[in-house]
Amino acid sequence: MFLSRIVLRDLDSIDSPSSMASSKKVVTRDEWERKLRDVKIRKEDMNRLVMNFLVTEGYVDAADKFRVESGTQPDIDLATITDRMEVKRAVQSGNVQEAIEKINDLNPTILDTNPQLYFHLQQQKLIELIRAGKINEALEFAQEELAPRGEENQAFLEEIEKTVALLVFEDVKNCPYGELLDVSQRLKTASEVNAAILTSQSHEKDPKLPSLLKMLIWTQNQLDEKAAYPRINNFSTAALEDPSI
């Protein structure tokens, strides 16, 4: 990322015979690797990035081992990660009421101060009732718990109508909102819960590494328009591929 910015800045100063025959500048592997060596990144900063990812994503055992091996201290108590992951797993498995109780045990102000999150949890609870075929219970729950919130918030009302529409179709595959019963909906709600808990603990709700990767992809795309250079195409190995000239 830092390297790509440097090359973007210095492209005009690159004097390569190959570039004369092409509309793009050509950066050789030797030049690229030399610039890589010139970029100084502290090991401590890299360790903090790794710890940030482990903590945010909830890998408590890995975070503890990394703390011991690298000497990098997490910015939150690692014990709270276990509690947060229990809440997340409860939502992912469809045990919404259990998740709500655990959230309140962790910090009762989270749901009190985040009506959208509480609504989405209640909506997820309705979805689970429909999934289980508890139609009468689902209708009663929607009427008593969700309908009053829909009267106060138009966006909530639209979400309620989409969810209740699942009851109209015998085969939810024919329902335009059938994706609400997909596992992805549970994951979406669980991710929102995870972010809210992290925010309540004064921690970033998203890990930094994925954002850096997105920035790297964007930078490479910008650089592609101006130069041929050793590119990273496989981000799992970060191997440099020689430019095609």
- Token pair recorded at residue 135: 């139609």
- Tens digits of per-residue pLDDT, 78-100? 988 999 999 999 999 999 999 99
Q: What pLDDT is recorded for position 24?
A: 80
DSSP per-residue letters across 158-215: HHHHHHHGGGT-SSGGGSTTGGGGSHHHHHHHHHHHHHHHHHHTT--SS-HHHHHHHH
Among 153-157, 182-186, 226-230, where is mean pLDDT lowest?
226-230
0.95 exceeded by the pTM? no
Q: What pLDDT is recorded for position 242?
A: 87
State what percent of residues in the chain have pLDDT above 90.
62
pLDDT band at 5 (very low <50, low <70, confident <90, very high): low
Taking the C-alpha atoms of residue 125 and residue 139, their distance in angstroms, rounded to an integer, is: 12
Q: What is the mean pLDDT of the chain?
A: 88
Task: Let me know the angle formed at the C-alpha of 77 by 72 and 79, rounded to the nearest 5 degrees.
Answer: 115
Q: What pLDDT is recorded for position 75?
A: 86
Backbone angles phi, psi at 74, to 5 degrees: -70, 155
- Tens digits of per-residue pLDDT, 118-169? 999 999 999 999 999 999 999 999 999 999 999 999 999 999 999 999 988 8
Indicate if the pLDDT at residue 193 is higher than 70.
yes
